[in-house]
Amino acid sequence: MAEQLHGNAKSPAPVLEIDKLARRLGPGFALGPVDLAIQPKQIVCLVGHSGCGKSTLLRLIAGIEQPDSGALRLDGRELAGSGVFVEPEMRNIGFVFQDYALFPHLTIEQNIMFGLRKWSREDARSRVAMLLELTALSAMADRYPHMLSGGEQQRAALARALAPQPSVVLMDEPFSNLDRDLRERVRHDTIALLRRTDTTAIIVTHDPEEALSTGDFVVLMKSGRIVQSGTPRELHDRPADRYAAEFFSTFNRIPGTYRKGRLHTALGVFPCRLDVSEGSEALAFIRPQAVCPCLAEGALSGSVRSRSFRGEIEQIELDVEGLEAPLTMRTTQRLHIRDGRLSFSIDPDTVLAFAAA
């Protein structure tokens, strides 16, 4: 009992509960069933390649699409499922569209005010003033959307979504319309604003790095299903399968044979747990940064095929006896390589193993 109480104290009731939600779109694509629980104040990144169903899931949560089956609860209230369907405008959910979708004929202040028609005039005015201030748009309150830069429009769209104090804000690729330099800054400011306002947010992105650096919790999708969800570190360091591993990182894939809890390869023997029979072929996934140059001559060495200096790091391709493909190494060290040969070691803690099939 004590354990249960402790467990409850650690994880508060989820804001949003998605229970076996499913939706078929035409003959070619089926989403789900998807299960997900989102905690208060969490920033969740929904990530995956184009067409995996991220936007469909977001639209189902928003109520723009109706599910074929499953249930959706927000703050314990049923939004969809068992004959219930709450219309989008009654859901208490904010939405920031990829193209921001600001009303062109309204000023920025009027855009933010739009969702507050049921508020008293005084409360609405003070809420809008506060959001203009928080998004550094006070000086632009009377401008129309086309008179704002891309970054400013993004902030205005976020302020409009936050105005009615939604339980959750959904953002569909909110940074993809911005050029690279601006994207980094706008992303930083957006996350800071979401944190300052204690907002629960679901952000869709197809960029693995953006997902890892932005989300408290990352949900990786493929073909309408969730492949893995967890903290950014869990997904990066302990991917559930090859797909998840290769989505977030590049690897050297080294063939080997599985025997007695170890993977035997041309680069050494690595302890691992695989659900395959003794003697099966398997692959060691070795990150380029886990291949470490040794100054002294070591047991492992290779001849340098190519070097590519990239500023902070150098990438080196090595031909190693026993390996068909070159081994990629990334190092921050400044190396003086003599005779075209380099000794190296492998950090075994970061090596992953997967069945070959």
Ligand X SMILES: Nc1ncnc2c1ncn2[C@@H]1O[C@H](COP(=O)(O)OP(=O)(O)OP(=O)(O)O)[C@@H](O)[C@H]1O
Q: Does 29 bind ligand X (CB under 6 A)?
A: yes
Pattern 327-356, binding to ligand X, x per CB under 6 A?
Answer: ------------------------------
The residue from 50, 120, 277, 332 that contacts ligand X (CB under 6 A) is 50
Q: Does 63 bind ligand X (CB under 6 A)?
A: no
Q: What is the dihedral of CA 305, 321, 242, 345, to 10 degrees?
A: -80
Segment interacting with ligand X (CB under 6 A) among 49-57, 121-129, 133-141, 301-309: 49-57
Between CA 175 and CA 27 the distance in angstroms is 31
Segment interacting with ligand X (CB under 6 A) among 23-31, 88-96, 152-160, 300-308: 23-31
Segment interacting with ligand X (CB under 6 A) among 45-53, 105-113, 193-201, 329-337: 45-53
Angle, CA of 151, 156 and 158, to the nearest 5°: 95
Copy the structure tokens of residue 206: 């197809």
Q: Does 51 bind ligand X (CB under 6 A)?
A: yes
With CA atoms as reference, report the closest residue to 116 among 104, 139, 132, 98: 132
The residue from 8, 12, 20, 25 that contacts ligand X (CB under 6 A) is 25
Min dist. Cβ of residue 261 to ligand X (A): 38
Between CA 248 and CA 179 the distance in angstroms is 22
Between CA 19 and CA 314 the distance in angstroms is 46
The residue from 23, 33, 34, 54 that contacts ligand X (CB under 6 A) is 54
CA torsion through residues 212, 217, 221, 224, sign:
negative
Nearer to ligand X, 52 or 161 (CB): 52
Segment interacting with ligand X (CB under 6 A) among 52-60, 159-167, 290-298, 317-325: 52-60
The HSE-up count of residue 252 (CA atoms within 13 Å, CB side) is 29
> Under rule CB under 6 A, how many of the chain's residues touch ligand X?
12
Q: Does 67 bind ligand X (CB under 6 A)?
A: no
Between CA 252 and CA 146 the distance in angstroms is 48
Nearer to ligand X, 48 or 70 (CB): 48
Residue 7 burial by Cβ neighbours in a 10 Å radius (0-12, 13-18, 19+): exposed
Min dist. Cβ of residue 5 to ligand X (A): 40
- Residue identified by tokens 């002294």 is 296
Q: Does 56 bind ligand X (CB under 6 A)?
A: yes
Instruction: Let me know: does 281 contact 356? Beta carbons within 8 Å.
Output: yes
Q: Does 163 bind ligand X (CB under 6 A)?
A: no
Q: Does 161 bind ligand X (CB under 6 A)?
A: no
Q: Does 120 bind ligand X (CB under 6 A)?
A: no
Between CA 224 and CA 166 the distance in angstroms is 27
- Residue identified by tokens 């804000």 is 169
Partnered with residue 128 across adjacent β-strands are none
Segment interacting with ligand X (CB under 6 A) among 24-32, 186-194, 272-280, 325-333: 24-32
Nearer to ligand X, 69 or 223 (CB): 223
Q: Does 206 bind ligand X (CB under 6 A)?
A: yes
Please count the residues of the chain.
Answer: 357
With CA atoms as reference, report the closest residue to 155 among 104, 165, 167, 171: 171
Instruction: Let me know: does 327 contact 343? Beta carbons within 8 Å.
Output: no
Amino acid at 202: I
Q: Does 84 bind ligand X (CB under 6 A)?
A: no
Pattern 261-300, binding to ligand X, x per CB under 6 A?
Answer: ----------------------------------------
Nearer to ligand X, 29 or 243 (CB): 29
Nearer to ligand X, 27 or 104 (CB): 27
With CA atoms as reference, report the closest residue to 191 among 205, 115, 179, 128: 205
Q: Does 4 bind ligand X (CB under 6 A)?
A: no
Q: Does 60 bind ligand X (CB under 6 A)?
A: no
What residues line the site for ligand X (CB under 6 A)?
Answer: 25-26, 29, 48, 50-56, 206
